[in-house]
Structure 1
């Protein structure tokens, strides 16, 4: 099997003399935080293509679109003599950022090769002597694609929402090559509306206080239960990335509630098996504390509005418009790991908890406190506190709606898209993304702790099918009852 090309390890960021470089801008506190030990995180975005990838066409469109939409992709991150870090524009050599390895046409399994290739990427870092991103083009046919491209961004360039939407801003509808994709989040965030409509300001304040108290206790001593999904934190451990797509079909319920319910149900199924239980035999210990760090979007819009992209305002997106950069905070979501007779109990259970989270200012307060802590005590101490919180929880979870129709990226039709991360110390990350009529679960694991990620995918898929069937049956029964009652 052809080996993944080796990449230079992360080296000390080059120090320039004060005053060198034009149009320098400081890194935001959150961007600076991602250069600290234990927070050196990379975002991976895997795009499966329906056609063989024309490298010359791909590179030409990549250079024009990516750098136009986000100048950070053609800037160095430079540490000054006073310890601060700044963005410094540089000449972008696209050949340094596009990797096209020679592949063995007689490989035994191209699907396994792609999986191994992406896993090997998690063992490496991008050299800070160039802008911190690259893309790997793998022209080999798999069971579902004709080619695969893997984008990799250092998290200091932006959060998952901004970077995935940066790529979507470079895409077009297959049905209309001149039209941008339809993103379901391109409207005012409903978070503030939900808060405003909540029963009383007192309840909003109460939910916020309770949530922040749990964050504080976690930073001090509160740990999740040790389970087969949790381990002591280790840095720079390689990851294994596995995918599983399911058909959305006709779900007559809020998709977000269904997805979180599926994850809770799938985690129970997986743990029950690891503890030696079966379908009707619960072996999971009682009162397990299992929490997820969930990325909470702080933007006024739930997604970047790709329709307003223009070169004239791209350079100010990070500060004035807030569309790019790191504009998320993490909130803690507890999962109820226990058997439930009705699959919809998982959905109802997490819906109640999610409503409490949405009817609070936990995300905004956490973001404010992080920035205040950095200002008062410095980046390094803030990074240590955040690492403690991460190490005392079980997993990271993210759910992001994607295009509602099929798209082409740089003139290549997309079969699926799958975002994930590496660099965190938790053994498990679950990202869920919708695309057209499908939902893809992207699992990132530390194989030494979770050696069977495909089994977890099976559990998530089975939970999804059971909950989807129950949702549709429940809705159908309500419709029939409504007809019987008449107008």
Structure 2
């Protein structure tokens, strides 16, 4: 991505009556803050990633109302009102507060009254966004309004931002900080669970401590081997090195959250275990068809792994917008792991969930995400960001897919003045040809796949397989 060569560019940004000004402009030197190592990593080739969140609305879209809400909510966060400026002397980047013209960030799609399939029109519009990058002469985010009625919505919006602004959980946090409950217009939404996160399983016994040390050692060894040479098996869902530059097709499918909870309670596992198990089952179902087309069976010895990000915060609670820069909620506070995906044939569909539970239980008793987070900082300090970028690219390329699960609000919400039907986050720019993201909203769970169509030409079939896997797993759970 092109970067700004001089902070003088800040003075040339256009403003009008909708512009938001900041006192920080008068004391620029005091307010310049460097990007964190993880945020800086997201500007490197192979890691230059954008997050997109598709928002379906139940009510007719009013662009002027949306713009007003964006000015009074999103722009209160400094990340959305700052440029990312490169320092040529040390190849670092800094946040530079600037004036923001909301019209430069809100894009209203031209409606096509003669379109045969509104759903396909919206899908194509979202896919075409992955062909483009946001110009670095303005804060790296935009908001697209697609005022086209589909089978599920009265209109669709796409919130897009560069991953350097924040990770998935922090971005979901700021969106929900802009939202209010439909049932109580003065109240912030609530996230599922007790809003407490702790990556490493806590235990005071010597045995537990030894287990964490051993798991961490094995995981870090596998991580380093992956960074050096250990590749996943060549399969129909594993892309080439050119996948990062390809257009992505975004397709999503919703399932009932009650079905997930039924399996969760039947097996006494976590919500994430169930969706991870369903993803493994769905991938096996999809691969079985792809291999059958070649008149061969799915091999039993496939090495398939996902890069999965772990939140390193102590809480997921939604904070007020004025607090988000200072209370540790914001930014890229993540570490990632290389997670084995067991996509072999299982006689009992519940075994996919049981295996996912065992794998995640061991991963939670490991310091791998913490070490990978510190590893980025250490290598950048010793060798520079270019080396970090190359190592990260190697790890991601040697795995098969990316996987993410972001908790969403438990109740119906109003966001930017409109009632929300669904939220579906994803990303593009990564090396993997497949990225599966999961987000909950009210009474549904949204599975969204982002695919390189040259590798996975039938993403709707993959979504069908994910949905059918949930049905099979639920049916087995009901027999317990």
Scaled by the length of structure 1, the TM-score of the pair is: 0.90
Q: Equivalent residue of 2:409, what SS?
A: coil
User: Which sections of structure 2, spanning at least 5 residues, go unmatched?
Assistant: 10-26, 265-269
The count of residues paired between Structure 1 and Structure 2 equals 454
Q: CA offsets per residue over residues 422-454 of structure 1, 9 Å max, x none?
A: 000110000011111111100000000100111
Matched, 1:255 2:271: yes
Q: CA RMSD in A?
A: 1.9
CA shift in 2, pair 1:224/1:193, >3 Å? closer
Distance 1:358 1:428, change over 3 A: same
Q: Tell me the alpha carbon deviations over residues 203-239 of structure 1, each in whole angstroms, 9 at most, x when there is no partner.
A: 1111110000100110111000000001221132110
- Within 5 Å, which residues of 2 pair with 1:159-308? 159-185=167-193, 187-196=195-204, 199-234=207-242, 235-249=244-258, 251-252=261-262, 253=264, 254-276=270-292, 283-301=297-315, 303=316, 305-306=317-318, 308=319
Equivalent residues in 2 for 1:273-352 (5 A)? Answer: 273-276=289-292, 283-301=297-315, 303=316, 305-306=317-318, 308-311=319-322, 313-314=323-324, 316-317=325-326, 321-352=327-358
Match of 1:47, SS? strand
Q: Any conservation in 2 of the 1:194–1:358 contact (CA below 8 Å)?
A: no
CA contact (8 A) 1:47 1:415 kept: yes
The 2-side partners of 1:162 and 1:185 are apart by 17
Q: Within 1, Cα distance between the matches of 2:476 and 2:445?
A: 18
The within-5 A match list for 1:42-441 is 42-68=50-76, 70-82=77-89, 83-185=91-193, 187-196=195-204, 199-234=207-242, 235-249=244-258, 251-252=261-262, 253=264, 254-276=270-292, 283-301=297-315, 303=316, 305-306=317-318, 308-311=319-322, 313-314=323-324, 316-317=325-326, 321-441=327-447
Q: CA deviation at 1:17?
A: 7.2
Report the CA distance shift for 1:310/1:142 in structure 2 as closer, same or farther (over 3 A): closer
Alpha-carbon deviation of 1:411? Answer: 1.8
Task: Tell me the distance in 1 between the aligned counterparts of 2:450 and 2:195.
Answer: 30
Check conservation: 1:195, 1:204, Cα contact below 8 A: no
Are positions 1:15 and 2:23 aligned together? no
Instruction: Tell me if structure 2 keeps the 8 A contact 1:260–1:350.
Output: yes
Instruction: Give the match for residue 5 of structure 1.
Output: none
Q: Distance in 1 between matches of 2:39 and 2:426?
A: 18
Q: Distance in 2 between matches of 1:427 and 1:288?
A: 17
1:158 and 1:326 in contact (8 A); partners too: yes
- Is this contact kept in 1: 2:28–2:97, CA < 8 A? no
Give the drift of 1:175: 1.2
